[in-house]
Amino acid sequence: MLNFIKKNKIKLLIACLFLGCVVLFGMLLKTVSIIYKLHDKLDNDKKAKITAVEKYDKEIQNEKIDKKAIKIPIITVHRTVDHESKIKYFKDDEWVNDLDELDKQLQYLYDNKWNSIDLDQFYCWYIKECEFAEKTFVFTIDDGDAEAYYNILPLLDKYKFIGTLFVIGKDVPEKTEKLNEPTRIKLGMDIIEKLRKEGSRLHFESHSYNEHRRREDSTPIVSIYSIKEMEEDFDLNKKFNFKYYAYPFGYYNRDLLSVISNRPEIKMAFGFHNYNYATRLNNTYEIDRIKVSAKTSFNDFKNWFEYAN
């Protein structure tokens, strides 16, 4: 044995070196694979974090919010025409907003890091199943005018906000006509269905089927409706699958409150008379909103948001 070692000293040395190299190479491979696995793990962790952020965006993880919203501004605009039409046809009309002014208002909210939520999210917050951070608002548009699609939706896409258009069921045509100011054109079923399918930033809810009318003495028509007539109006709107309701002219009486709170399809209703922030103390069928009309100055608009938290 000893002789064999002596005779093959060199060969054995080479063999040992070779074996050493193999072992070293193996260790190196192992290290590389550990590094790769670690990298993969980090990568997966990162991916999981991104998914969590997306989830946070969609569902909001309550425990991660430092300052939770305790009151939420729900702003309401009406028909909103381009600046030229506003000056030309609607100069003194409080209920026709100027698109340039709305652009400025939404730009302010965007620049100041306000986020909008839709009515399902608002409802979730109201029943305390969701929390949202301060600087959360809801954007609503009354009366179902086609300008919501032609003029306001591009702004919602620009600032990544969500808006809800309250439409008057009876006034919804099958097909939406092109804008032709100052003619009043209502948004049609064709666009409503298309946007619902696309998951658009513009959502649609109820402004009654046919109660957006006043009597000769200017009181809202619903003030003389029987309970049966009120129920019929809701029945006629069932085909739209609305879940939320905005009272025409912000008007409701005891009978309407009792009817609406017993309609299984309507989860919540919004007022338009007691302009204020919405809170969880509001009655489910008397949620406060804030009027943003053509007469609302930019300063007044900003004040609503500066004092919101």
Query: In the complex, which residues of this chain contact Zn ion (CB under 5 A)?
Result: 142-143
Q: Which is nearer to Zn ion, 137 or 270 (CB)?
A: 270
CB of residue 78 vs Zn ion: minimum separation in angstroms? 7
Q: How far is the CB of 212 from Zn ion (least distance, A)?
A: 6
- Provide, rounded to whole angstroms, the least separation between the CB of residue 120 and Zn ion: 22
Nearer to Zn ion, 118 or 143 (CB): 143
**Torsion sign over Cα 265, 263, 260, 95:** positive
Of all residues in the shown chain, the one whose CB is closest to Zn ion is 142
Nearest CB to Zn ion, comparing residues 143 and 205: 143
Find the shortest distance in angstroms from Cβ 102 to Zn ion.
17
Tell me how crowded residue 135 is: count the other CB atoms within 10 A of its CB.
17
Least CB distance to Zn ion at residue 222 (A): 12
- Taking the least distance from each CB to Zn ion, the nearer of 115 and 208 is 208
* Min separation Cβ 167 and Zn ion, Å: 10
Q: Which residue, 143 or 147, is less far from Zn ion as judged by CB?
A: 143
**CA dist., res. 61 & res. 59, Å (int):** 6
Which is closer to Zn ion, CB of 115 or CB of 206? 206
Task: Give the nearer residue to Zn ion in terms of CB position, either 98 or 143.
Answer: 143
What six digits make up the tokens of 258?
Answer: 């009792």
Backbone dihedral angles phi then psi of residue 15, each to the nearest 5 degrees: -60, -45
Q: How far is the CB of 251 from Zn ion (least distance, A)?
A: 10
